[in-house]
Amino acid sequence: MQEADIKFLEESFKKYYFEHFDLIRVPERTSEREFGFQKFNSGMTRHIQIKDDKELHLLFMQNVPSDVYCSNAYYSFPNLPMNEKDWKEADLIFDIDAKDLNLMCRANHTVSICNECNEISKDSKQCRKCNSTKLEKKSLPCKNCIDQSKIQVEKLSEILNEDFAIDKENIQVYFSGNEGFHVYVYNSQFQEIGSRERSELTDYISLRGAIPETFGMRKFKQDRAAFPDFNEKGWRGRFSKYIFGSKSKRSKIVTELLTNGYSSFQKTLDDVSENIGVKIDPNVTMDIHRIFRLPGSINSKSGLTKIHCKDIVKFDPYTEASFLSDDMIEVLANSPIEFQLKNKKFGPYNNEKVAVPTFAAVYMICKKLAKIA
């Protein structure tokens, strides 16, 4: 990234933090958490202890970070090296990202940036200019990406509430600032469990590793009564609704499942898992030492804010998470894909000088699709 681009981003981010520090959600038990930050074109600084919002505000003003992070874990000594922190417990956090949903639409809004000659083209496997295969992918998520991610959030929230009796007020959803959502669970019975138990929890939520016997299919001594009823709770009930469709079809479909046999049922179960299991990143949830993007801070991959979603159904990240200035700036834009921010459409641009609002310029520069003219 060019020096002029970095300076422009730093100025834009600094102005945001000066004007919108009220959006920063200083977490409870602040002094027990580890903080970290990155600056543009520099590495991560970790193991920082912050006592209150005044110290946090000072960190923003003194460093102008590209990204700011905070641990979900609570420590006795958050400023010490990892093996000396004395881990106490950690909030439960799930990551739902559009890139993990295998959506067909992604091919239409993903660009390839050649690491050899910087040529930009729509999603491809080889640079059309120098034939290099060293390409960096950048996605400009569309409405379908967000909508499909929301569906996963709603499925996850339902399981947490119905299967694990977690109160809805202890489940908070945040737009990540780029391609998905972070779901936080506070004050639950899972606060003190370790990585292995959290991994098992993600397996349950994803319906990964499920065995046919759980849903009534047996290798020997088959029993029609072992198959779940339509109105059962938990995964057996969800399985019934997905496979049977209605109570009246249950008997016929159970007969078909028994006729097709155990191996065929396992394939059916894999299909069920793919379609109704929640698509979360298990590595994120099981990491009890991870530091997560701080709510209210800007995501340097997009220039959008990680923001709390009060109503996930109505939430529109491209209007509600875009807080940067409307001041016009001239950039050299090379974005082959149209995008929309604050109800305005931009692009496509073919390596051309254009005057755009700061929020759009930052978005393109963060995506490596523009630079200051």
Residues 6 or more apart from 256 whose CB is under 8 A from it? none
State the catalytic residue, choosing from 97, 123, 147, 311. Answer: 97
Residue 22 annotated among the catalytic residues of the structure: no
Q: Is the peptide bond before 348 cis (omega within 30 degrees of 0)?
A: yes
And the tokens for 218? 């047996």
Residue 281 annotated among the catalytic residues of the structure: yes
Residue 97 annotated among the catalytic residues of the structure: yes
d(CA 115, CA 111): 13
Q: Is the distance from CB of 121 to CB of 336 less than 8 angstroms?
A: yes
State the catalytic residue, choosing from 95, 123, 229, 316. Answer: 95
Q: Which amino acid is at 209?
A: G
State the catalytic residue, choosing from 281, 311, 326, 327. Answer: 281
Cα dist. 206→58, 94, 266 in Å?
Answer: 41, 11, 16
Per the DSSP assignment, residues forming a β-bridge with 174 are: 182, 308
Closest CA to 93 of 289, 357, 356, 369: 289
Q: Is the sign of the CA dihedral 212, 214, 219, 222 positive or negative?
A: negative
Fill in the DSSP letter of residue 110: E
Question: What are the residue numbers of the active site?
Answer: 95, 97, 281
